[in-house]
Amino acid sequence: MEMEIEEEEEQVPMEPPKIHRLDDSVVNRIAAGEVIQRPVSAVKELVENSLDACSSSINVVVKDGGLKLIQVSDDGHGIRYEDLPILCERHTTSKLSTFEDLQSIKSMGFRGEALASMTYVAHVTVTTITKGQLHGYRVSYKDGVMEHEPKACAAVKGTQIMVENLFYNMTARRKTLQNSADDYSKIVDVLSRFAIHHMNVSFSCRKHGAARADVNSVATISRIDAIRSVYGVSVARCLMKVEALDKDPSSSVFQMEGFISNSNYVAKKITMVLFINDRLVDCTALKRALEIVYAATLPKASKPFIYMAIILPPEHVDVNVHPTKREVSLLNQEIIIEKIQSVVESRLRSSNETQTFQEQAVKPTPSCQMVSSNDSNRNPSPSGSKLQKVPVHKMVRTDSSDPAGRLHVYLQPESCGHLERNTSLTAVRSSVRQRRNPKETADLTSLQELIDEIDRNCHSGLLDIVRHCTYIGMADDVFALLQHDTHLYLANVVNLSKELMYQQVLRRFAHFNAIQISEPAPVKELIVLALKEGNLDPECSENVELNEKIAEMNTELLKQKADMIEEYFCIHIDKDGNLSRLPVILDQYTPDMDRVPEFVLCLGNDVDWEEEKKCLQVISAALGNFYAMHPPMLPNPSGDGLQFYQKRKPSRNPEESLSRSTGDDVVTENEIEHELVAEAETAWAQREWSIQHVLFPSMRLFFKPPNSMATNGTFVRVASLEKLYRIFERC
């Protein structure tokens, strides 16, 4: 009976809660918590007020990370005596009068909330003097009103505001901000950003009681000097100037100038200082776009230092979109970001003319280690020490047991003293990359037609996937897993890389950097190798003679066309018929040199040299296939692939003569070609590194997927979050 009564009571509907008006003190304290989120928020608001007051010197003193004391002093125009009674009331400001004024606002502040918010969560004291006054005035505020009448006092030019016991009445907030060192470092960071932008203002920031300031900048006319004084010489010397300008009203109107770091700057995290119309803000979209550019162009310096100042018409900027004014909304933001991204990418590539790459000797000895072609300061390993592990991005396929089919046959090992001059064809990239003058663009109608075909044939849906996907990893030897929105895709990296390389060849036409082969390879012998690999019976004398004739004819043809292919594609074949230079299609990526013979044979045998458009298209496609990220020729040693590296010996049992005659040898138990396994593991690891850190970042920037990829299996959707949820619901 009691249970039935309880059930009846539970079924009685609850009365809806009554809506009532909050007390003003509660409303103001809630609002204050949004505007002043932590001590650095208060410092930023006060410094911006000082800048609005035309100050030439701003000094900040902080105690206990800003919780005990924040004192900001400036030499600005001060505050009128008659304005002091309403100074800390909410929505009182001298910056604007009507809502329309927001359309052309140039000052930092405009809401009239900052000082009012501070008085609701701290004790605020203001000391100020204006020009022409004999003395200043000091007054304290609490909950937006004066605690007493302004008192006359001695004062220096400008205004001093003290904020004491911040969040004294917000226990939970104060407990979360007990790490004073962390809050102080944030304050120093904000002051440093203001200091390098407002060069005509002197800034200082120090802890209370400290004799030395942590930020101490003086007014200067040079931006780079301002950066040097705040961030140090090591940062300033790695910077280069970047500028952008657009005056087209139909797309975007803006001006940008700044400094970005080069390849010599290495840091653990990105530093981006962004001012839009002199307002310190964050722009996640722009930051991400620039990170992508650096990841694709300078993978080893992918955490840059960036300072940018963007000027737009005031009516194109909505400053009233964030409680702390940390973010703004821009008209034509996507177009502006795209243009800035393009300018930065171009600047990085034009500055990336000299690089240092590690090289691998043909037959290194324990005392003859890898050296860097440009870095003579590396200390060689002591004699007899363990060989330095070859970097994954330089290891290529070698066959110590049968080198006849490999490019090493053309390389003569020399002593360690000559290693810097004699480097391996399989591993070297030129330390000095020659970039042609971009103004000397080849004016070829056929080239433009090929590029236009790429643009017209671009699949918009796949383009969105490529630009915004997340790389997960390799599913097998050919397919990579990508996530886009709520969908999971398999993407054929061989097809993708082949098409990307083809498009990049056309877009970089006649403006390539060079991979220098210090030991040139004879074109004729390369072609013979390619023909030999394609023959079923390579030892047949008739095939050998035919291959020699084909190789000789193709070599002569390529020597005749050498000037053209060097000018347009940076493929250098000297007068003796030796291949000594290849183009850089993607920075930080070197193709698999085992595929050089196939590529050279394609140049000599497949190109129609009479028709211009077809000629350029076939050469570009051949380069795309050569530079594509094919699986390495060595089988993947992971999983079942390890069986290919087990040592084999001829069978001695007469009963096994049949298997010996068919080429089946006895596998020696527990004996594996460990050196070959290590080489294969390195090659496969290097390929996956290149796919993740070179291919996909470059695709996000440059790739335009053709319509055919939507149907030829290059992209396959394997999962959808929405459909998975439906399955789970049915289960």
- What share of the chain has pLDDT > 90, as a percent? 31
pLDDT at 627: 94
**What is the rounded average pLDDT of the residues 538-542?**
60
Cα end-to-end span (Å), the chain = 38
**Residue 492 corresponds to which tokens in the numbers above?**
């054929």
pLDDT at 131: 87
CA distance linking residue 405 with residue 538, whole number of Å: 12
Q: Cα 451 vs. chain centroid, distance in angstroms?
A: 26
* Among candidate residues 664, 634, 632, the one with its CA nearest the CA of residue 650: 664
Contact 297, 352 (CB under 8 A): yes
**Residue 328 corresponds to which tokens in the numbers above?**
């703004």
**What is the rounded average pLDDT of the residues 99-125?**
70
* pLDDT band at residue 646 using 50, 70 and 90 as cut-offs: confident
- What share of the chain has pLDDT > 70, as a percent? 73
Q: Is the pLDDT of residue 414 over 60?
A: no
pLDDT at 550: 87
* pLDDT band at residue 681 using 50, 70 and 90 as cut-offs: confident
Contact 347, 242 (CB under 8 A): yes
pLDDT at 658: 44
pLDDT at 330: 80
Count of CB atoms within 10 A of residue 657's CB? 11
Q: Is the pLDDT of residue 96 over 70?
A: no
Q: Cα 561 vs. chain centroid, distance in angstroms?
A: 39
Which CATH fold topology does 238-352 show?
Ribosomal Protein S5; domain 2 (3.30.230)
pLDDT at 392: 36
**What is the rounded average pLDDT of the residues 524-552?**
77
Q: Is the pLDDT of residue 719 over 80?
A: yes
**pTM, full prediction:** 0.50
Tens of pLDDT along 158-196?
999 999 998 888 877 887 777 767 889 999 999 999 999
CA distance linking residue 346 with residue 701, whole number of Å: 12
Q: Tell me the pairing of strands 487-492 and 479-484.
A: antiparallel
Q: Give the per-residue SS3 of 339-352.
A: HHHHHHHHHHHHHC
pLDDT at 283: 87
pLDDT at 539: 59
State how far the alpha carbon of 295 is from the alpha carbons of 268, 314, 695, 700, in Å: 14, 33, 10, 11
Tens of pLDDT along 220-262?
889 999 999 999 999 999 999 999 998 887 778 899 999 999 9
pLDDT at 727: 56
pLDDT at 726: 58
* pLDDT band at residue 636 using 50, 70 and 90 as cut-offs: confident
For residue 530, count CB atoms less than 10 angstroms from its CB and return exposed for 0-12, middle for 13-18, buried for 19 or more: buried
* pLDDT band at residue 678 using 50, 70 and 90 as cut-offs: confident
Where along the chain do its domains lie?
24-217, 238-352, 443-535+544-644+676-730
Which CATH fold topology does 24-217 show?
Heat Shock Protein 90 (3.30.565)
pLDDT at 431: 33
**What is the rounded average pLDDT of the residues 538-548?**
71
Contact 475, 489 (CB under 8 A): no
Q: Tell me the pairing of strands 271-276 and 239-248.
A: unpaired
Tens of pLDDT along 129-143?
998 888 999 999 988
pLDDT at 541: 58
CA distance linking residue 90 with residue 32, whole number of Å: 10
Q: Is the pLDDT of residue 669 over 60?
A: no
Tens of pLDDT along 307-321?
999 998 888 887 655
CA distance linking residue 191 with residue 201, whole number of Å: 11
CA distance linking residue 80 with residue 58, whole number of Å: 19
Q: Is the pLDDT of residue 553 over 80?
A: yes
CA distance linking residue 522 with residue 554, whole number of Å: 12
